[in-house]
Structure 1
Amino acid sequence: MSGSPAHTVLPPTNDAGDNGPHLNTFVILHIVVQTIVWGFVFPIGMVLGLTRSKYHVPLQTLGLAMTSIGFFLGHKHRWRHETGVQSTAHAVMARIIIVQLVLQAASGIYLKLHPVGSKARTIAVRTHGILGKTFPIVGWTQMLLGVIAGLGYCLDGETPQCLAHYIMGSAFNGYACIMLIMLHLGSEFLKRQGQSQEYLDSWVIMLWGIVNTFTMHHDDWLHSHWSHKDMQHTMLGVLWWSGGLLGIFLSRKGKRSFVPALIIFVTGWGMSAHEQSLMISSKIHGMFGYSLMAAGASRVVEICLFLQDGPSDPSNIKVFQYLPPYLLILGGTMFMSATNEEMRHAQDAGIDHVTYGLGVFSISFLLFLHMTFLIHLYSASGRNAASTKTPDIAGEGGYEPLQTNFQDYRDNDTGNGDDLESLELDARGPSRCTS
């Protein structure tokens, strides 16, 4: 179908007559291989590259070989030739990724073969670094487009709401990832900039709100009909840019602020009452709203009570500080799972909102685990590994050398055995027994 961001031709129908997935051995292998590569191998390799680990090159080489196999499986399997489905956003993105991979590999090989000091090497270093850092984002986008193409989503009139759900849900997940990175690694950056995280958050929220305000209603503002969804979505944009302006003002000069968290809370409140045509959709949107409300409330508690308006200390992270980013991931994943087509398919399959919600909770746990693992890997690998090691004070055989005051006893020796007994007891440590 022409004009659809996700598809430029109608997807084929399966034997049942719908636009469901067409899974054969080649498609399944393509999905498995590319999910492993872009979900795990390349992100881990990127982190190892940032830490200058010796395992960076072998892992990225493995990833390049695996994704080449996956690309072959995705473009040569029988389903594509039988159905004629070629022009999808997933396929177009794959061609862009090929160019990125070629440039990334070429710049990496050049850096291995040429000495330091040349201008060309400087360009290669920057190119290699920029392209490598985009791998997690590119991988996330391509896997999402693969799901859309495989399931036949986002066609015809479903495209706008489909894009809104996937883009906004991904934005919440990205915000949670940034919060985790800043929690562990961002304190020095914020100190150098002389700014608080809320100052940066408020700028992003304000700019996003401006875009949202003028893109949610596609017809003439003054002479066209406004649905309740258009009005709510547009007013959310107004909320974000107006609240963002307040947040920028209150958080200037490095001050902490409650405003970004409050905006998230109010957004959640609005979405929790966002009525849908299907009951299961209304329930899932409600769970999305409650997740955002909990994230906003917990963030206010973190800033005002746990941190007492001060900066976060990465060497003393409280367990509670992990709650706001996790709840944002939960909310983002819940929103991405609440498109009209997903809700219709869930209802047709007899899945209730509790079962569906539990599945989304499970996915959010895995996403949070993946993000925290990558951050931990950055702190404990390559050139950062030495700073995380406990000082080695153990002696030979893994035992700490015994410290005694033998010289003091020898100097004060009275010639009887009492001092020797005292020395023995002192070497063993203080007695745990009392008479």
Structure 2
Amino acid sequence: MRARRSLVPLAAVVVLATRPQLSLAHEHHHDGPADPSIPIDSILKLHILFQAVVWTILFPTTMVLGLIRHRLHVPLATVSLALTTAGYFFGHGHGGRSFPHTAHGTVASLLVFYLFAQMALGMYLKLHLSWKAEGRIRPVVLGLHGLLGKTFPILGWVQMVLGIATLQSWCFGGHLGQCLAHYIMGSSFVAYSVILLIMLKAGAGWLARRGRSQEWFDSWVICLWGLVNSFTEHHGGPWTHKDLQHTLLGVVWFFGGAAGIWTSRGGKRSIFPGIIIGITGWAMSGHAQALMLSTMVHGLFGYALMAAGVARVIEVCFVLNDRPTGESDTSPDPTSSDELTGRSDWSPVRAFQLLPPWLLTAAGILFMSATDEELRWADGNGIDHITWGLIDFSIAFFLFVWFNILLDLYTTSGGRYGARVSARSTTESGPWYSRLGQEGGGGIRNGGANGPRADKGGYGDHGSEEESSIEAESHVLFDEGDLDAEEIDPFDDERLQSRQAKVRGS
């Protein structure tokens, strides 16, 4: 009976995949931009609502539940698939305003096959087939299913951005290049914010085991991005001030990133990524635009980016005192990758450390909303830069709190083995974020953030065998490929329940 229920959403996906006349076009498609004077009907509004909820809320939550091996992962994935399927049909069955063929529709059609593949992989894992090649095939299917699931938030973000542009008929003709520049760069700042949050809350051990600092990775991205921008910002013809500014920003990023790579070798912290972000914000704050509204919004973006860069430098130099995140003041050698000298107590994220990622999120949203078409539309509707900025800050706050909710759901559930967290309650083990499992904060195991306890007996006191076993299963996001802990198939319900009962009995 359960198998039949799980086949229902799969059948819907198969119908979509085998009906190209539905997935590729419908009668409301035409050439040229949409007519904004024609209102959108209730069916299209349902399409927008369903897809926004599914791809912003449900699929990211499903991804986290999958990472922590939660029993609600499969039910929520099924509900999400059913809702996005309904939303897909709404998008092809509406009246009112009609739209041209766009990338939004093309990506939606490709996502049908993407969702079908993800559901098929999940169903295979739930069937628990017993055949000769299962031992070799199942790990591959499990890894592919997890990889596809982790890309859902990225796909949802891209598709929603394309959907907004389609709804407003933006980015057509000569505006495409500017849209791509703003949307890609703005999204990159938001992605950088997410990466910083992940590293703050769940990646300290991953960095320590590799003997690298966050700035080493940041500097490589900055350097390579600058190299590309140095040769792609001028498109022939006479050089303009904008061409020179954009090209020189690429040069600054290239050499500044190289300086960051060199100075962050050996796990050292570096101030240069923050300085480069600050310089970029300074340059953009004075970037002249055709409209006064556009100039003001670009200035606000520049100020947010400058503040992010300054805050990042303050965080590294004065909040952390050049130590890696997660290292305490009593660490013998916070930069050491040695198993003994590199251990230290886990310290919680300090309040100031949330400021740089928040400012990066705000800067990214501001830049994404600063294209010529968007601001001409805002100017035509009598919106000033204060109102526009408050709208952007509201979106940024929503995204920031949602990023933190998802990360905290992951970390407070014990990371990879979410259902098998320490038998000791979080109230006994200190702050709510001490999913790392140890009283007073866990030590770093192998340079990580959740190893043998550094309290009550020093680094050599690992507690009882049962505690050590529990602690080995309570680790953070990037430990998935690094530990020797026994792999648990999240779709093996019987074995999963047995392990949970064993941990609770400990």
TM bin, normalised by shorter chain, reads 0.7 to 0.9
Shift, 1:230, TM fit? 1.5
Give the corresponding residue for 1:340. 372
Whether the aligned pair in 2 keeps the contact of 1:104 and 1:132 (CA below 8 Å) is yes
Q: Indicate if the aligned counterparts of 1:205 and 1:244 stay in contact, CA closer than 8 A.
A: yes
Cα 1:391–1:335, aligned 2, differ >3 Å: closer, same or farther?
closer
Q: 1:66 aligns with which of 83, 93, 115?
A: 83
Aligned to 1:359: 391
* 2:112 match: 98
Count of aligned pairs between the two proteins: 375
Unaligned stretches of 5+ in structure 1?
A: 1-6, 17-21, 394-435
Q: Secondary structure at the match of 1:78?
A: coil
Identity %: 50
1:281 aligns with 2:294: yes
Give the deviation of 1:180 after TM superposition: 0.2
Tell me, which stretches of 5 or more residues in structure 2 are unaligned?
Answer: 1-28, 327-345, 430-506
RMSD: 1.8
**What is the distance in 1 between the residues matched to 2:319 and 2:102?**
48
> What is aligned with 1:384?
418
Runs (4+) of structure 1 moved beyond 6 Å? none
Which residue in 1 is equivalent to 2:242?
229
Task: Tell me what 1:113 maps to.
Answer: 127
Q: 1:120 deviation in Å?
A: 1.8
Specify the SS of the correspondent of 2:315: helix
Q: Is the 8 A contact 1:270 1:289 kept in 2?
A: yes
Query: Is residue 47–residue 378 contact of structure 1 (8 Å, CA) maintained in 2?
Result: yes
Aligned to 1:308, which of 311, 321, 334?
Answer: 321
Contact 1:107/1:128 (CA < 8 Å) preserved in 2?
A: yes
Matched, 1:177 2:194: yes
**Structure with more of its chain in helix, by fraction:** 1
* 1:192-212: CA deviation from partner (whole Å, max 9, x where unpaired): 111101000000111111121
1:384 partner letter: G
1:77-106 per-position Cα deviation (integer Å, ceiling 9, x unaligned): 2347xx4x4521000000111111000000
Counterparts of 1:2-401 in structure 2 under 5 Å? 9-15=31-37, 22-79=39-96, 83=98, 85=99, 87-115=101-129, 117-219=134-236, 224-313=237-326, 315-381=347-413, 383-384=417-418, 386-387=421-422, 389-390=425-426
- How big is each residue's C-alpha offset from its partner over 1:3-44, in whole Å with a ceiling of 9 and x where there is no partner? xxxx9931222437xxxxx41111100000000000000000
Contact 2:188 2:364 in 1 (8 A): yes
CA deviations 1:313-352 (Å, max 9, x no partner) are 1632110000000000010010011110111111111111
Paired letter, 1:13: D
TM-score between both structures, scaled by the size of structure 1 = 0.83
TM-score (structure 2 length as normaliser): 0.72
Q: Bigger shift: 337-346 or 207-216?
A: 207-216
Query: What residue number does 1:409 align with?
Result: none
How far residue 390 of structure 1 moved from its aligned partner, in angstroms, is 2.1
How far apart are 1:391 and its partner, in Å?
A: 5.8
Question: For residues 428 and 286 of structure 2, what CA distance do their matches in structure 1 show?
Answer: 57
Kept in 1: contact 2:47–2:91 (CA 8 A): yes
Is the partner of 1:118 in helix, strand or coil?
helix
8 Å Cα contact 2:316-2:322 kept in structure 1: yes
Q: Describe the shift of the 1:141–1:111 C-alpha distance in structure 2 as closer, same or farther (beyond 3 A).
A: same
